[in-house]
Every structure is written in C-alpha cells, then in structure tokens.
Amino acid sequence: MTTELRRLRNYIDGEFRDAADGRTTEVVNPATGEAYATAPLSAAADVDAAMAAAEAAFPAWRDLVPAERQKVLLKIADRFEERAEELIAAESENCGKPIALVRSEEIPPMVDQIRFFAGAARMLEGRAAGEYMDGFTSIIRREPVGVCAQVAPWNYPMMMAVWKFAPALAAGNTVVLKPSDTTPASTVLIAEIIGGVLDELGHSRGVFNVICGDRDTGRLMVEHPTPAMASITGSVRAGMQVAESAAKDLKRVHLELGGKAPVVVFEDTDIAKAVEDISVAGYFNAGQDCTAATRVLVHESIHDEFVTALAKAAADTKTGPVDDEDVLYGPLNNANQLAQVKRFIDGLPAHAKIEAGGHQVGEKGYFYAPTVVSGLKQDDEIVQKEVFGPVITVQSFRDEDQAVEWSNGVEYALASSVWTKDHARAMRMSKKLDFGCVWINTHIPLVAEMPHGGFKKSGYGKDLSGYGFEDYTRVKHVMTSLDG
C-alpha cells in the first residue's frame, strides 16, 4: 500500500503556490530513509514572482516606524510559542531530531531571538549629529538595504531561518527565503505563521516569501537583479560561489560557512567535567554544527587519561528515534552526509586509532555512532576538513605555542574553546586564537545579545546581536547648511 506524500508549496505574496512549471522533489525523513512529502523545485519564474512581491512590499515596510515592525515581530514570537508543537513536529520530521530536544533546545532560543530583534528595531544607532565643518550639521541615517535573498541550511532549518528573517525584517527589509531542499517543511510552516501575522496586523504579506528548491534555485536568487543583499549559511564552496555571483552586480553578501573548532584542553583541567561538556558539544545534533566541539587538542601529560574518558562518554552517548527521550541526537540529515562521514572514517591513515564508534547504527535511516579517533597528525584530512558528523578527533600537544599553532592551522575560523584553571593563560589564548568566538571552560552556548560569525573561510558578517542587526542596514550621511 502506497502512502500519499504531503504536498509542500512555495509562499509568495501571501499565497501558497506550486512551482510555475509544476516540478517537485521528494523530501525524505532521515530517521526512516523514506519520503514523506514533495516540495516545489522552483525555477526562474518562481524566483521572479517572489522577488517582485518582496520589492513591491518594501517601500511601505521600510517606511513604518520601528515600533510597528516591533509589534509584528513580537506577535510572530507569540505565534511560535502558541504553535510550538506544530513547529517541533515539522522540524523533527525534517531532520529526524529528537522531539524532546527540539522542544527544550530550539523553540525557547528561537522565540527569544525574535524578541531580541524586535527590540533591536527600536535601537538604531549612529554617531551623534554635530558640526564637523563650520556652518554645517551632519546627521547619520541608518536605513534598510532593500530586498534580501536568504538561503538557510539543513542542520538547523528553523533556527537559521529565524537568524535570517528576524534581523532583516526588524531593520525594515523584505525577504525571500529558501530552505535547503532536504528540509523545507518547517520553513513552509513558518511562512504560514508569519503570513498570518502580517495579514492580521494589516501589512503586505509580500514582506516575507519562501521558495523551495535546490542549488540552482539558490543561484537564481543570488543572481537576480532585485535583491540588495544575499545571505547564506552553508558550505565554504557554496559561500564562495555566492560571493563570486554577487560580485557581478556588487550585492552585499553575508556568509556563515564551515567550521573546525579547536577544543584546547590544558593539563590543569578537570578532566571529568571537560569530557562531559565536550562530548555533548561534539555530538549534539549529530555533530552537524559548524561550531561543534569535534577537534580536541589535549596536553600530552593527560592525553591518555582524557582519551579513555572521552571514549567511555562516547560509548554512553545514545542516538536513536525521535520519540526516545534518552537520546542525545538523531540521524545525519541525508544519505550524502552519511556517505561523507563514512568516507572520512574509511579513509583514516594507518596511524589513526578509532577509540569508539566508527560505524553506522541500525538498518533504517542515517544514524551514525558517536565516534572518537586518536593518534592523528595536524595534516591529516580529518583534522583539516569539516566532517559535520558525530566524530571527535584528538591530538596531543606539548606546550601552549604548539596548541596555538595547531588550533589556527586550518582554513576555518568560526569557533574555539580553551579549558584551563589558569586565568592568565585563558586570556592569552583568547587573544591568540584566530576564531570569531572563544569559549573558556565551556563550548557552544549562544545568546541573542552576542555575535556569531567567523573569519577566513568561515565567512564574514555576524548573526545575532546588534552587529547582526547592523549587517542588514546601510549608513547614509546627511549634511545640511546652517545658513537656512
């Protein structure tokens, strides 16, 4: 007996629509490996329609006083809370994520982040007006950039959608947002929620649009002449392609790309506490997090003890179905990602040692065991490249200088952490580590008030915080003569 697949649709100018040419793609639940829905495979006509809707809605939305945009965002946050169970179900099916963890670890921060940006809408900052030339007063205006083309990833489809639309809308921009082709369900539900709020409060529903599709759809969005800004969270390759494409018409670009976070553990660390926290930060969301604690550098004097403890923590960590409240993480997102993780493990050099895991779990879905690999060298592929799976590597370092050299010796520069009781050493390391975030004696907490973003091939621009809000604005100088 064949189960009928649910039909997801684009949301353009307040209407749910199929792709103009009718093409679709199947959406697979990674916990089962089976298709549960179809989504539009949007092409140029769909992108044109979404951009036209956003462009038409922009002047009125831009000209609202910030307090009015704040009302909209606060109402959206309220609706997220009211419809939390629907969002949880959609995200769990999207990603195979444990229901209990989506409820506790994603819904509350998402709601908080929307409310933060609702407040940020009313805190536009600039230099004080003043006379910097005799007879003239200068004023700074901070304005929205226009229509924003935004592409969200598949590891946190809901939360990354929030990180994109909330600051953009708060600043007065209009949005065309594309979810990953493997995880469109929760974003389509978000469109329904936001569209309902806009309609209820009397604003154009063209302020927020969602189109589903693949990489070609994203490419068409970035290449389109309408958007003033392109924002993407994704791979380094995708980010470089977006930057190259956007350069052709000088679009502003916001890129949050890959990571390979070093976790530097010194000899004075409480090993048991560090292992407990690092294993959670490395395996949460199946390690599919660009800030995940997956590259541990531990001082040689405690290396063996640390590896033994970490391997035990891995063995005690559970992956499994969405309704099991004892699991820390669910499956990898898709078959290609599972194959990539397997390739890294199958291709380990002879000097590497698998201390725990290293294998697929179960016959259904894309589950992979919590894995620890030791004995690695700095130039090994698994140390240099992002695995994006539940795999923690361990290297042994001899002193602080080597720890810094190896930490910085990758092409990514998003996040890092230092574990030590020595305050002066922690401060030295935080200065020397070339990463957008340095955690001390913790790894992975984020707050709406603080920026998230990296350097080097991890991209540029900031998510969250006032800095993230400012990324969606432009600065204008207005000078007036005092002669009247």
Positions annotated as catalytic residues are 256, 290
Question: Dihedrals φ, ψ of 335, to 5°?
Answer: -65, -35
Would you say how long the chain is, in residues? 484
Residue 322: C-alpha distances to residues 100, 109, 328, 341, 473 (Å): 8, 20, 10, 21, 40
Question: Dihedrals φ, ψ of 245, to 5°?
Answer: -65, -45
Q: Which residue has the tokens 């993480």?
A: 329
How far is 448 from 450, CA to CA, in rounded Å?
A: 6
| Structural contact between residues 420 and 266, judged by C-beta atoms closer than 8 angstroms | yes
How far is 280 from 101, CA to CA, in rounded Å?
A: 13
> CA Rg, the chain, in Å?
23
How far is 261 from 415, CA to CA, in rounded Å?
A: 5
How far is 206 from 11, CA to CA, in rounded Å?
A: 9
| Identity of the amino acid at 257 | L
